Each structure stands twice: as C-alpha cells, then as structure tokens.
C-alpha cells in the first residue's frame, strides 16, 4: 500500500531532494522504474528477477503483478556469462499497435551485455490476448570490441516517425542508434551517435565514481526541444549512493545536447536536476511522461528513514520561462 503525503515547497532548481507537494511517497520497492497507462490503469516496470511489474489506478496504490518472464530467457543465459535471470532497466512504450518492452541483460562491471525486446498486445493480465512474445537480442556489446555498454534502453520516435534507441552506461558514454521500422533491429547502414559522456570532469561528476560514471538515458520531446535526462555517479550503494540526474537539450534528436551553461553533454556537461540529501540518497534512473497534460518525473531513491531501501519516487515536472525543467522542492 502506498503512502500519499503532500508537503509545502519552495521552488529551487538543481537542489537536493526532499518531500514536495504533488510528490507521491511510496513504499514500492523498485530500481530503474518506467511507466505507461492503458485504459485508465498505470503499469510500472522495474529491474528485478524476470522484470518486476505493478499496476495502479491512481499512481498511489500499487498492486504487484506477475513478472514478465517466469524463467531466465535461454538466449540471454547463453549470450551473457554470469546472467541468472535478474533483468535490468526495462523501457516500456506503445508503438505500431503493440507494447514494446526493451530490457537489459548484463552483469556488474562488465560490458558484455545485450538489450532484448518483448512485445504484448495488452498490458492487462486479465485480457485473453495478454501474452509476452520475446524477440530476443536487439543490440549487443562485446568486451574488447565495443567501448560502450548495451544496457539501459529507451525508445524515442522522432518527428519523421523513425524509431531510435538510446542506451548506455559508463565506458565512453551514452549512445543513440536508429532502428528499423519494426523497432526490433538496428537500421542499416548502422550509424552510432554519442549523446553524453563524462571525460573525467571533476565539476560535473563525483570523482570517487571514476571516469565514465554516467548511465540511464531518457529522451523526452517537449515543444521544439528533445531533452536528455541522464544519471551520473554511483547507483545501488544505499546510503553511499551518489546518483543524481542531469539534463541537456537539443533541437535535433541526434544532438548535440547542451546544458544551461552551453556545455555539450558529450564533453562532460549536464545541468543538475535533482540529487540526494540526508533524507533520500542516490536519486536517479528516471523516466518522464505526460499524463492528463501534466509532466511527471519517475525515478528511484534510497529512503534514509527506512534502512536505505530503494523506493519509487514520482514528482511533478515543472518548466521555467526558458523552457528548462525543474522540480519544486523544500529547502
């Protein structure tokens, strides 16, 4: 059951996380959450064994659903040594009459990874047409061959209805590649773009996290801009997590993405959107959606008041006069 609390706030950009009005404070235990709505029901997908799934009518009370996969996909076990069924960082989208669920197959600290894809006609488990069809591997990264990591996918459709997939983690940063019209394969001829990286920038990154500490791209189109949200520094360390969200924008999907200081994100730029504080650690791995004309930032954070447990966070996303997003929080 979800706890829904409202708090007064003061607007501030790029500050520490705290409890805010319109914030949904939940006990849903997630990492890397993404969300979609079908027929009045919200569906939440997150990292977990077989991919964790929840449903809700109001984004407040959440019901645990069955995982997408009841057992580890055989192709993934063969493709990634050490993989045992814990699937990372899914991405959910509705495209060409189907629900597309991209997902990450990987192990910590290695870039021998794959991005897989499953589709479904419906997200309602009670619907007779409900059935996940696995299309297996879409993108693979190979150690010694690739200087990027095939995890953390995010599908974006451009103004020409061309599907693209952004992805990546550490190494030499976040990548973008065009997909075929079925969004199940890489378009030919292949052309790869770098969206963002951290070239040892001591101002923009936590020096303890080392070079390349960036992951989880999410691209959101609003008016004339594409906005790139990315998570920097260390995730998954509870109270020691230094995870934080930074942003840049571009009028072209392929970039370059520029921050508020006019620094390209692929040169270490990125304007701070949200970071942790003494109440919530390691806030990050976000997604962004518009429901009923309101934009929401969906992410996870570690609750300092509950033994550092990772929980779902939902915040209203606001926009300033220069069309930059910000979160209204309490100092």
pLDDT of residue 331: 41
pLDDT of residue 171: 85
Residues 292, 295, 301: CA angle, nearest 5 degrees: 125
267 falls within a domain: yes
Q: Which two tokens stand for residue 77?
A: 């076990």
Q: Which two tokens stand for residue 125?
A: 């488990």
Q: Residue 189, preceding bond cis, omega within 30 degrees?
A: yes
146, 215, 259, 315: the catalytic one is 215
313 falls within a domain: yes
303 falls within a domain: yes
Burial 248-261 (b: 16+ CB within 10 A, else e): bbbeebebbbbbbe
pLDDT of residue 4: 34
Instruction: Report how far residue 92's alpha carbon sits from residue 325's, in angstroms, rounded to the nearest whole number.
Output: 22
- Average model confidence (pLDDT) across the chain: 89
pLDDT of residue 14: 44
- What pLDDT digit, counting tens, does each position of 281-326 carry? 999 999 999 999 999 999 999 999 998 899 999 999 999 999 999 9
- What pLDDT digit, counting tens, does each position of 177-192 carry? 999 999 999 999 999 9
Q: Which two tokens stand for residue 208?
A: 């303890």
Question: 81: domain range?
Answer: 10-329
Binding residues for substrate, by number, are 32, 109, 149-152, 169-171
pLDDT of residue 301: 94
225 falls within a domain: yes
288, 218 contact by CB (below 8 A) = yes
Per-residue HEC secondary structure of 91-104 comes to EEEEECCEEEEEEE
91, 102 contact by CB (below 8 A) = yes
2 falls within a domain: no
5 falls within a domain: no
pLDDT of residue 330: 52
pLDDT of residue 15: 43
Instruction: Report how far residue 148's alpha carbon sits from residue 247's, in angstroms, rounded to the nearest whole number.
Output: 20
Residue 281 DSSP symbol: E
**Partners of 221 in the beta sheet?**
226
Q: Which two tokens stand for residue 94?
A: 């509705």
Instruction: Report how far residue 171's alpha carbon sits from residue 166's, in angstroms, rounded to the nearest whole number.
Output: 15
Domain tally for the chain? 1
188 falls within a domain: yes
Residue 135 gets the label, from left (phi > 0), alpha (psi -120 to 50) or beta, of alpha
Instruction: Report how far residue 163's alpha carbon sits from residue 160's, in angstroms, rounded to the nearest whole number.
Output: 9
Which residues, given as ranges, of the chain have pLDDT below 50? 1-21, 331
Q: What are phi and psi of 308, to 5 degrees?
A: 70, 25
What is the C-alpha radius of gyration for the chain, rounded to an integer number of angstroms?
Answer: 18
Residue of 149, 150, 260, 284 lying closest to 212 (CA atoms): 149
Q: Which two tokens stand for residue 65?
A: 């659903």
Q: Is 127 marked active-site?
A: no
Q: Is 251 marked active-site?
A: no
123 falls within a domain: yes
- Cβ-proximal residues to 307 (8 Å cutoff; 6+ apart), any chain: none
**Partners of 296 in the beta sheet?**
289, 316
32, 146, 259, 315: the catalytic one is 32
Binding residues, by number, are 32, 109, 149-152, 169-171
pLDDT of residue 22: 58
Residue 310 DSSP symbol: E
261, 269 contact by CB (below 8 A) = yes
Instruction: Report how far residue 120's alpha carbon sits from residue 111's, in angstroms, rounded to the nearest whole number.
Output: 28
270, 259 contact by CB (below 8 A) = yes
pLDDT of residue 270: 96
CATH of the domain at 91: 2.115.10.20
294, 261 contact by CB (below 8 A) = no
264: helix, coil or strand? strand
């Amino acid at each position: 059951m979800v706890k829904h609390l409202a708090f007064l706030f003061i607007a501030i950009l790029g500050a520490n996380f705290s409890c805010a009005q319109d914030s949904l404070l939940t006990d849903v235990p997630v990492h890397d959450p993404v969300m979609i709505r079908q027929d009045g029901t919200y569906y939440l997908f997150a990292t977990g064994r077989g991919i964790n799934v929840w449903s809700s009518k109001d984004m407040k009370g959440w019901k645990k659903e069955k995982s997408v996969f009841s057992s580890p996909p055989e192709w993934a076990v063969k493709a990634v040594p050490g993989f045992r069924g814990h699937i990372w960082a899914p991405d959910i989208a509705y495209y060409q009459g189907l629900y597309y669920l991209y997902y990450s197959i990987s192990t910590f600290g290695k870039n021998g990874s794959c991005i897989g894809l499953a589709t479904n006609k419906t997200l309602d488990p009670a619907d007779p047409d409900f059935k996940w069809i696995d299309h297996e591997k879409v993108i693979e990264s190979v150690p010694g061959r690739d200087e990027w990591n095939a995890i953390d996918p995010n599908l974006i459709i451009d103004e020409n209805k061309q599907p693209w997939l952004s992805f990546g983690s550490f190494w030499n940063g976040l990548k973008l590649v065009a997909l075929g019209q079925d969004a199940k394969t890489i378009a030919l001829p292949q052309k790869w773009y770098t969206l963002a990286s951290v070239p040892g920038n001591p101002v923009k990154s936590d020096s303890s996290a080392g070079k390349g500490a960036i992951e989880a791209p999410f691209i959101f189109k609003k008016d004339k801009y594409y906005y790139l949200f990315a998570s920097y520094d260390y995730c998954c360390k509870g109270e020691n997590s230094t995870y934080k969200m930074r942003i840049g924008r571009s009028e072209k999907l392929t970039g370059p993405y520029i921050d508020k200081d006019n620094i390209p994100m692929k040169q270490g730029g990125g304007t701070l959107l949200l970071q942790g504080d003494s109440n919530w650690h390691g806030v990050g791995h976000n997604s962004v959606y518009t429901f009923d004309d309101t934009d929401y930032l969906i992410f996870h954070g570690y609750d300092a008041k509950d033994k550092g447990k990772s929980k779902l966070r939902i915040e209203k996303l606001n926009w300033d006069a220069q069309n930059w997003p910000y979160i209204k929080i309490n100092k």
